[in-house]
């Protein structure tokens, strides 16, 4: 069989995607670069990176590259004796058959990295059935509807196996888009939108410079649902700080109950290093909630939700990963998880905080060595003994490691 021509050998990908798309090994396809708003004070992802829209021709070329990589990997999966399975052996065979693409003596190191990242993304996607695609970066529906429809149609024409195409979106963008345009995108294959709701409290939205109002949040959510597009809303416990905690919880529950999204995903606020809100907290202009206060706020939020949504806590910024279930039927069980945690003795809560936050930190490549290692051991001993300084010692560790969370 002839060796495929994979073109430049890589398709462009952005920096992030939802955890659910990672679990599904979605193909990552970059439609826009970075964020058109890029002023939210809690976010550091796109800071100092200019926003731009990629041309339809560029994106189609990337889709063609994915197609050629996919065809080549399928060929390798048979050549390598893997019986058609896309595994490490198939990937290795593909690389060996294309030395001109992956040889560091012939290519710039960054080019090789791009090609390998692209190859691994396509291989993981194929191994999962090539069913799901995520359009990057922060707001793909920002582009002209006709252009996005053309991209979606081309993608599905080359890959008939695709079952779901999803994207991040801003509430303001979706609220302004005609319902007819959203329905057109749905017909072209856009199945789900992930919207950064954050809060249903206008004071909080203004404070974090979200660039939208709760009225626009509700309009965008209702528009999405009316178009038949699955809606995933991201709510951010703690982002109102101590000043707005109660109002943030209650008004977020009210707004999301009115929207009635398919998914509500908790993303507890973590002051990430490099974000404006991290600097505000350091300067004393913003008072973050403690772990226990955040959990209590989530309890108030859940208690006041009145919708038929799937609630999930699927990101490392959340302390209680086990908060998950259908509303309203699973609400009593979810509230029991929260109340049981808050009813634990102080030292048990501190030990759980330390254990789970360290697990996340190590999971993203953090290292415990030197002074940090010593501090962690002291905090563990203090928590186990329920020492008077246990809370401050654990808080010191969390303040060091949590700002690096992704």
- Tens of pLDDT, residue by residue over 299-339, are 999 999 999 999 999 899 999 999 999 999 999 999 999 99
Specify the pLDDT at position 7: 64
| 213 in the same domain as 358 | no
Compare 165 and 364 and report the one with higher pLDDT.
165
Q: How many domains does the chain have?
A: 2
Q: pLDDT at residue 347 above 60?
A: yes
The arithmetic mean of pLDDT across residues 238-248, rounded, is 98
| 322 in the same domain as 224 | yes
Specify the pLDDT at position 95: 95
Q: pLDDT at residue 45 above 60?
A: yes
Residue 123 domain-assigned (yes or no): no
Q: pLDDT of 64-102, one tens digit each?
A: 999 999 999 999 999 877 788 899 999 999 999 999 999
Specify the pLDDT at position 3: 36
Peptide bond into 68 cis (omega under 30): no
Specify the pLDDT at position 2: 32
Global pTM?
A: 0.93
Q: pLDDT at residue 180 above 90?
A: yes
Q: pLDDT of 264-285, one tens digit each?
A: 999 999 988 889 999 999 999 9
| 177 in the same domain as 320 | yes
The arithmetic mean of pLDDT across residues 390-406, rounded, is 92
Residue 53 domain-assigned (yes or no): no
Candidates 350, 313, 354, 349; CA nearest to 330 is: 313
| 353 in the same domain as 330 | no
Percent of the chain with pLDDT strictly greater than 90? 91
Specify the pLDDT at position 8: 81
Mean pLDDT of the chain: 95
- Give the domain extent around 330: 170-343
Burial label, 185 (beta-carbon count in 10 A; 0-12, 13-18, 19+)? buried
Q: pLDDT at residue 4 above 60?
A: no
The arithmetic mean of pLDDT across residues 173-184, rounded, is 98
Domain holding 184: CATH number? 3.20.20.70
Residue 160 domain-assigned (yes or no): no
Q: Is residue 209 a contact partner of residue 170, using CB atoms and an 8 Å limit?
A: no
**Of 298, 326, 343, at which residue does a domain stop?**
343
| 334 in the same domain as 322 | yes
| 302 in the same domain as 205 | yes
Specify the pLDDT at position 6: 55
Specify the pLDDT at position 30: 97
């Amino acid at each position: 069989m002839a060796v495929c021509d994979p073109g430049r050998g890589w398709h462009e990908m952005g920096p992030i995607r939802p955890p659910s798309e990672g679990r599904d090994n979605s193909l990552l396809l970059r439609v826009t670069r970075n964020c058109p708003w890029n002023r939210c004070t809690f976010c550091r992802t796109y800071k100092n990176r200019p926003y731009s829209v990629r041309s339809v021709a560029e994106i189609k070329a990337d889709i063609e590259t994915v197609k050629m990589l996919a065809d080549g990997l399928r060929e390798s999966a048979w050549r390598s004796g893997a019986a058609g399975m896309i595994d490490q052996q198939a990937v290795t065979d593909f690389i060996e058959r294309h030395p001109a693409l992956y040889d560091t003596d012939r290519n710039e190191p960054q080019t090789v990295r791009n090609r390998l990242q692209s190859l691994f993304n396509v291989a993981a996607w194929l191994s999962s059935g090539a069913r799901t695609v995520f359009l990057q970066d922060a707001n793909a529906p920002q582009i002209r509807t006709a252009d996005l429809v053309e991209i979606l149609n081309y993608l599905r024409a080359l890959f008939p196996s695709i079952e779901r195409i999803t994207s991040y979106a801003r509430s303001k963008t979706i609220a302004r888009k005609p319902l007819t345009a959203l329905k057109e995108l749905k017909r072209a294959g856009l199945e789900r939108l992930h919207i950064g709701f954050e809060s249903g409290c206008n004071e909080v939205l203004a404070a974090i410079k979200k660039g939208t109002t709760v009225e626009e949040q509700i309009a965008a959510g209702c528009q999405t649902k009316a178009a038949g597009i699955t809606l995933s809303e991201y709510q951010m416990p703690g982002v109102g700080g101590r000043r707005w905690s109660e109002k943030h919880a209650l008004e977020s529950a009210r707004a999301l109950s009115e929207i009635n999204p398919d998914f509500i995903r908790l993303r507890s606020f973590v002051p990430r290093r490099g974000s404006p809100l991290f600097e505000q907290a350091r300067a004393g202009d913003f008072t973050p909630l403690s772990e226990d206060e955040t959990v209590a706020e989530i309890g108030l939020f859940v208690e006041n939700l009145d919708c038929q949504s799937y609630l999930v806590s699927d990101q490392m910024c959340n302390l209680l990963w086990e908060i998950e279930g259908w509303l309203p039927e699973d609400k009593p069980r979810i509230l029991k998880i929260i109340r049981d945690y808050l009813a634990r003795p102080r030292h048990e809560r501190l030990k759980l905080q330390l254990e789970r936050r360290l697990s996340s930190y190590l999971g993203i490549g953090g290292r415990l060595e030197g002074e940090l290692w010593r501090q962690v051991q002291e905090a563990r001993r203090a928590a186990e003994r329920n020492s008077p300084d246990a809370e401050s010692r654990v808080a010191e560790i969390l303040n060091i490691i949590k700002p690096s969370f992704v």
